[in-house]
Structure 1
Amino acid sequence: MAYDLEEQEQLATLKAWWNKYGDLVTWLLIAALAGYAAWSGWNYYQRNQATQAALLYDELQKAVSAKDNARVLRAAGDMQNKFGRTAYAQMAALAAAKTAWESKDAAAAKAQLQWVIDNGRDAEYKALARIRLAGVLLDEKAHDDALKVLAADMPPSFAAAAADRKGDILAAQNKLEDARAAWKLALDKTDEKNPARQLIQLKLDAVGGAPKAA
């Protein structure tokens, strides 16, 4: 009987507690379950997006291998429209720009590189797109536009490539002193074991070697 009374007291206490806090606990539980469901759904969406983007990128690579510029550009456009927030979209645009350039479609190449600059989520891809776009503009003799493209901040790992391209543009403008300074900076930023140093040194020597001291 004592046990029954004690159990009844516990039940009464629990009932009183539930009457006081039951609604709050219910709403907290609902919120927790909703949050978990949203988190699980988002992770599933992200995985699904990545899987589909990978498949489309594989198709784009096949088109690149076939040198089918029109097909590559269609795949890149689909990637940007459907999976523009993924890294695959940036890689696809860079690949499409290269194929377009090799197909002598400069307008498409510039458009793809500009897409990466405007919409890319990774600083490295954006920097690579800027350097390549500056090269396209250099070929078109749009020197001032090319220099503007390179004027943006870039990751340190791209400093040498950007300075090298800047030197090319300045040399094309016959600004040899500025070109020497740019190539000297590119040489200073390039690792000693990097084969690119030889080409930079050749260009630097071709315009009279290191720039004059201030």
Structure 2
Amino acid sequence: MVLIEEAESSVHDLELNKMSVDTALQNVENIIKDRDRLQEWATWLQGALHESKKKIRFLIEEKDKLKADLSTTECDVAKFSKRITQLEKVNAQRDGLLDKIGQLEEVTKTLKSENLSLKVNTEEAVKVGVEDFRSQFEFTSNYENLQAFFINYGAQQVLTEVKELHPNLDFSTIEADYPTPKEVKDGVGQPPADRAEGPADQPPADDA
């Protein structure tokens, strides 16, 4: 009986040992599986790290480019700001000039209006003066002298131009016929009060 019990106890122990070995083997298999999974993770992490490094290098390059672009942009902004300031000054000057031009236009309009009024008044005064002169001139003592004055003056002007074109010709005979006119005075253009008194529509009486 004792031997049987011992044998059963030994079998039981063997079964327990077998179970322990099975458990240990299962644990080893699990560890191997975990190692394989860890290796896969390690490989994936290495690839991800490599890609991350590439992305980091790309981002660094992009950052450097952006810095360069930013520097260029800042220079452009400074130039544009300077140009804008200059344009603002030019616009201010232009506005000032436009204001002055507007003022000058108003002054010009006023002057034109005044000039037109003065012109009308002057034309009226000249017209009245000419009419008065014409109505009185034929009664002056130098009417014929004034007529001869303008004839001789015109002839002398023509002779001067002809003598310049033909300096070798003799024009003394013609010049004798049209002497150089002298200034005509003695009542020409004088107001009627300076003439002999008489009716306005009659010539002055002879002194004889």
Larger radius of gyration: 2
* TM-score normalised by L of structure 2: 0.27
TM-score relative to the length of structure 1: 0.27
